[in-house]
Amino acid sequence: MKLPTVALVGRPNVGKSTLFNKIVGKRVSIIEDSPGVTRDRIYQEATYNNKKFYLIDTGGIDTSKMDFNTEIKLQASIAIEEADVVIFIVDGKEGLTSNDLVVRDLLRKSNKKVIVAINKVDVKETKNNLYDFYELGFDNYIPISSIHNTGFIELMDEVTKDFKEVEEKEDTRCKFCFIGRPNVGKSSLINALLNENRVVVSPVAGTTRDSIDSILKYKKSMKISKSIHYLDQ
Ligand code: GDP
Ligand code: MG
């Protein structure tokens, strides 16, 4: 089953990457104060309430610097093409700009479900500018603060409304744990079993400090995978 795709679209510096990181739960996109930092489209798998989907952070669209923009515009068009749902992020602090209208025109043509996320609601300017955005002409407007998680649940409920829930399969794999005092050859044995150099083998006692999980497939015909748990004290 192909997972649904959600694209974050909006001009630079509106907070796409900040929201992207909130949704996927880790820092993948680069966040910077200067506009146009995220040049490449970034895809990540994300889950919200057992609903799985792909998330794309587009580079944003800005019409004031043409060279850069042609590229960014192209990226956003691709994202829009691939997405089932588009989160159109606007900067409430800055208010509605002519560049937002350019993005709006692109999105209108896409005929995709568009949710307007009015970001930076934590600053007072946003509250004053809020209603200007209704001029964009979409159905859904959700004020959010990507930094403070305000409106996050409301936004994500709307984004994933038509997505199917995926059942988490129980992990039935056998688990092995390798324990032994340092330097007895645990890592070498595991590497031999896994046939790869996943664990750092070192003659220095206590090299592997963390436990490491690896998946071992024993005999090609066997469907069950076995997990090896390696511990070093
Ligand atoms: P992008 O260019 O659209 O990806 O924007 P970024 O996520 O890189 O954010 C641009 C700037 O806006 C950064 O300085 C962020 O810290 C700031 N920012 C993002 N979200 C919020 C928010 O909810 N509130 C406020 N006040 N600032 C935000
Ligand atoms: Mg970015």
Give residue 162's region: left, alpha or beta (phi > 0; psi -120 to 50): alpha
Ranges under pLDDT 50 in the chain: 39-40, 60-63, 208-210, 221-233
pLDDT of the residue at 212: 56
Which residue, 112, 138, 160, sits at the end of a domain? 160
CA nearest ligand 1 atom 22, residue: 120
pTM of the model: 0.71
Give the chain as a DSSP string. Answer: -PPPEEEEE-STTSSHHHHHHHHHTS--S---SSTT---S-EEEEEEETTEEEEEEE-----SSSHHHHHHHHHHHHHHHHH-SEEEEEEETTT---HHHHHHHHHHHHHT-EEEEEEE-TTSHHHHHHGGGGGGG--SEEEE-BTTTTBTHHHHHHHHTTTPPBPPPPP---EEEEE--STTSSHHHHHHHHHTS--SPP-SSTT---S-EEEEEE-STT---EEEEEE---
94 and 58 share one domain: yes
The residue with tokens 């799985």 is 52
Task: Considering every ligand atom shown, identify the ligand nearest to the alpha carbon of residue 11 and give its number.
Answer: 1
156 and 189 share one domain: no
pLDDT of the residue at 222: 41
CA nearest ligand 1 atom 26, residue: 120
| Residue 9 CB–ligand 1 contact under 6 Å | no
Q: Is 165 within a domain? A: no
Q: Which range marks the domain in which residue 214 is found?
A: 174-227
Which residue, 112, 134, 160, sits at the end of a domain? 160
Q: Is 166 within a domain? A: no
Span from the CA of 210 to the centroid of ligand 1 (angstroms) = 35
69 and 46 share one domain: yes
Nearest residue to 105 (alpha-carbon basis) of 140, 142, 68, 136: 136
Q: Is 92 within a domain? A: yes
Mutate to test the pocket of ligand 1, among 9, 11, 31, 69 (most ligand atoms within 8 A of CB): 31
179 and 129 share one domain: no
pLDDT of the residue at 71: 59
34 Cβ contact partners less than 8 Å away, ≥ 6 residues apart:
13
Q: What is the pLDDT of residues 21-52, one digit of tens each?
A: 899 886 555 555 555 555 445 678 889 998 99
| Residue 199 CB–ligand 1 contact under 6 Å | no
93 and 21 share one domain: yes
199 and 151 share one domain: no
22 and 131 share one domain: yes
Q: Is 232 within a domain? A: no
Task: Considering every ligand atom shown, identify the ligand nearest to the alpha carbon of residue 93 and give its number.
Answer: 1
Q: Please give the tally of structural domains in the chain.
A: 2
CATH number of the domain at 89, please.
3.40.50.300
Helical axes 66-82 vs 98-110, angle rounded to 10°: 30
Of ligand 1's listed atoms, the one at least distance from the Cα of 89 is 3
Mutate to test the pocket of ligand 1, among 146, 148, 149, 152 (most ligand atoms within 8 A of CB): 146
Start-to-end Cα distance in the chain: 43
| Residue 13 CB–ligand 1 contact under 6 Å | yes
Contact between residue 9 and residue 103 where contact means Cβ atoms under 8 Å apart: yes
Which residue, 160, 191, 217, sits at the end of a domain? 160
32 and 131 share one domain: yes
pLDDT of the residue at 220: 54
207 and 151 share one domain: no
196 and 156 share one domain: no
218 and 130 share one domain: no
Span from the CA of 16 to the centroid of ligand 1 (angstroms) = 7
Of ligand 1's listed atoms, the one at least distance from the Cα of 11 is 3
pLDDT of the residue at 188: 82
21 and 60 share one domain: yes
Q: Is 96 within a domain? A: yes
